[in-house]
Amino acid sequence: MTIQTTAHLNFRGQARAALDFYREVFGGHLVAVTYRDAGAVQDPAAADQIMWGQIAAENGFRVMAYDVPAARAWHPGEAPFFLSIRGADAAEIRGYWDRLVAGATLIQPIGPSGWSPLYGMLRDRFGVTWVLDVEAARS
């Protein structure tokens, strides 16, 4: 048996924009099902919001997202989680950083750190905190 873990992000009306943005950054195929598509409209104003969405890319990147219905309580909190992108290729990691940083708040500018040749942290325009780094050899 094999399993796969995928981060599932919750938004309030921004899931499609976030998924489109992450697809621009990481590539991949977007699948998005609206509440209308699923026949699950409870609020006509939210019919075109995302009930289930996913990006799956050849490079291994996967993320899911949906719009929490207005009738359901939702409090995103302050940095309740980080999404980590770690790889061996500094140019690839920097490329993702350069695309994610558009409209973001820098928490730690990308550069060398005590544990990685390249590390940075930012909060993107959707409020998601990303940690990007190059995996360092461990002895």
Contact partners, residue 90, CB within 8 Å, separation at least 6: 117, 118, 134
Predicted TM-score of the model (pTM)? 0.84
Q: Which of 67, 97, 114 is the last residue of a domain?
A: 67
In a domain, 92, yes or no: yes
The CATH code of the domain that includes 125 is 3.30.720.110
Tell me: do 88 and 63 sit in the same domain. Answer: no
Task: Residue 112: give the domain boundaries.
Answer: 82-134
Residue 113 phi/psi, 5-degree rounding, is: -135, 175
Element (H, E) at 31: strand 29-34
Tell me: do 55 and 12 sit in the same domain. Answer: yes
Per-residue pLDDT of the chain (139 residues; tens, 9 = 90+): 666 779 999 999 999 999 999 999 999 999 999 999 989 899 999 999 999 999 999 999 999 999 999 888 888 887 778 899 999 999 999 999 999 999 999 999 999 998 899 999 999 999 999 999 998 876 5
Tell me: do 20 and 53 sit in the same domain. Answer: yes
